[in-house]
Amino acid sequence: MAEKAPKKTHSEMLAEYATYRKWPNRNYIHTGSGESYYLLNLAFDVNTQELTAVYSFNAMPQFKFTRPMSEFVEKFTEGHSAR
């Protein structure tokens, strides 16, 4: 069985959140598909305490997605789609 990561303190979570606090409420382009998404909010996963991005597909805003913020940073760039 995999060992659990130690629980983060509230201070550690707040510091991690502060790193990306200006990112929500902006458009981002997926570097692979070129599709446009809107970052709605940041949230912590209840099981892992990993910071996650909560975002929607601009063409269909009823579709909401989550992914670890570390992956979001790698796969999205700020901006508007050229489509």
Summarised one tens digit per residue, pLDDT across range 43-78 is 999 899 999 999 999 999 999 999 999 999 999 999
Task: Count other Cβ atoms within 10 Å, centred on residue 51.
Answer: 19
Q: Which amino acid is at 4?
A: K
User: Residue 1: is its pLDDT beyond 80?
Assistant: no
Separation of alpha carbons 63 and 40, rounded Å: 12
The domain locations on the chain are: 24-78
pLDDT in tens, 19-31: 999 999 999 999 9
Separation of alpha carbons 25 and 8, rounded Å: 26
Where do we find the tokens 């692979």?
Answer: 32
**Residue 4: what pLDDT?**
66
Separation of alpha carbons 3 and 67, rounded Å: 22
